[in-house]
Amino acid sequence: MAQFVLSRLLRALLTLLIIVTFAFFVLRLSGDPLNRFFDVGNTPAEVIEAFRRQWGLDQPIWIQFQKYIVSVLHGDLGSSMRENRPAVAVVLDHLPATLAIMLPTLVLKTVLGVAAGMVAALYRNSIFDRLIMSISVLGFTVPTFVLALVLALIFAVQLRWLPSGGYSEPQHMILPVVTLSIAGAAVIARYTRSAMVEVLGQPFVRAARAKGVPWTTIVTRHVLPNAAVPIVTIFGFMLGSTVGGAVVVESVFSWPGIGRLLVASVTARDLAVVQTILLLIGVMMVASNLLIDLLYGLIDPRMRSQRATS
């Protein structure tokens, strides 16, 4: 088990390293940083030379990379050009707003999705199943911005029940949360259904029925635990995309979270902020993948023994 945890940790670190490397090279390839500070043609050569030396730009690229890694490890990701303060502080300021809609969404879409997927699987080929799966296909193919705008059109513009955008009151959260939950629940329902259908066809379910175990006990004690792995996998992906998953919805509903900050920073070419958000999302994804990998071992004893032998 210890070996397994270690190997997973190592892989998570490697993935993080790839993401950091990607951020570094994209940053460097996007042009000489000098151009962002000077009009290079009209600046004396000594000034440019001094600037290069001061910021280490005269060093070979791999030494620059080394320094970059060190500064990332120290939490120094540069300053936001728009707000003239550390990019990390700017990003952290926007984090609560994103979490305020993403955490309720995570709960709501998981409950809705798992429940709908279970109903669809248990009443396979019934009208419920057809209905749930049709809605789920729509959830896959309707882009979130269309869903968000249609909901805004119905509930904010036509019925005037809810505000169409803003941040001040709790009602403002409803439309973003509902939009994100519908889209996410569609995906979870589909995974849940196919996982459950597969388990329901297993001989041990038939055996349990044959020896007279009540149906609810079969579902809760035999089917659900065995169907848990794919469901947990997709949940892990959703958990990881908590920070970055609301870009479109935040900008539709003018929600002042990370997603809108990202779009605004891209438009203003505020590179330090973009890079910080990129790394934050990467860390979130890698951490939740690691968590899920470790969870597998808890849920499914077979995975533990397989790993011990392999």
- Among 4, 8, 23, 182, indicate the residue that binds other proteins (CB under 8 A): 23
| Nearest residue (CB) to other proteins, 116 versus 277 | 277
Is residue 246 a contact point for other proteins (CB under 8 A)? no
Give the nearer residue to other proteins in terms of CB position, either 121 or 262. Answer: 262
Decide if residue 269 touches other proteins (CB under 8 A).
Answer: yes
Identify how many contiguous H helices and E strands the chain contains and give both numbers. 15, 0
Size of the site for other proteins (CB under 8 A): 50
Candidates 26-34, 166-174, 201-209, 213-221 — which segment interacts with other proteins by CB under 8 A?
Answer: 26-34
- Compute the distance between CA of residue 179 and CA of residue 142 in angstroms, rounded to an integer: 11
State the nearest-atom distance from the C-beta of 103 to other proteins, in Å: 18
* 112 burial type by CB count under 10 A (0-12 exposed, 13-18 middle, 19+ buried): middle
Q: Length of the chain in residues, anyone?
A: 310
Q: How far is the CB of 217 from other proteins (least distance, A)?
A: 31
Which listed residue (1, 70, 103, 146) binds other proteins by CB under 8 A? 146
CA 242 to chain centre: 4
Q: Which is nearer to other proteins, 111 or 138 (CB)?
A: 138
Task: State yes or no: residue 247 binds other proteins (CB under 8 A).
Answer: yes
Q: What do you get for the CA distance between the two ends of the chain, in Å?
A: 12
Tokens 């004396």 identify what position?
A: 44
Residue 6 touches other proteins, criterion: CB under 8 A: no
Residues 6+ apart with CB under 8 A from 114: 188, 189, 192, 231
What is the Cα–Cα distance from 179 to 3, expressed in whole angstroms?
A: 42
Q: Work out which of 5, 24, 27, 72 binds other proteins, going by CB under 8 A.
A: 27
Kindly report the number of other CB atoms within 10 A of residue 49's CB atom: 11
Contacts of 220 (CB under 8 A, 6+ apart): none
Site for other proteins contains 11 (CB under 8 A):
yes
What's the half-sphere exposure (Cβ side, CA atoms, 13 Å) at 131?
Answer: 6
| Residue 58 CA: distances (Å) to CA of 7, 132, 138 | 38, 61, 54
φ, ψ dihedrals at 241, nearest 5°: -90, 15
Shortest CB 98 distance to other proteins, Å = 13
Residue type, 193: R
Structure tokens at 108: 């709501």
By beta-carbon proximity to other proteins, the closer residue of 179 and 275 is: 275
Closest CA to 250 of 258, 240, 242: 258
Residues 148-167 binding other proteins (CB under 8 A) are 149-150, 152-153, 157, 164
Q: Which of 1, 6, 137, 308 binds other proteins (CB under 8 A)?
A: 137
Nearest distance in Å: CB 17, other proteins: 9
Q: Which stretch binds other proteins (CB under 8 A): 12-20, 51-59, 120-128, 168-176?
A: 12-20
Give the residues lining the site for other proteins (CB under 8 A): 11, 14-15, 18-19, 22-23, 26-27, 29-30, 137-138, 140-146, 149-150, 152-153, 157, 164, 240-241, 244-245, 247-248, 251-252, 262-263, 265-267, 269, 271, 274-275, 277-278, 281-282, 285-286, 289
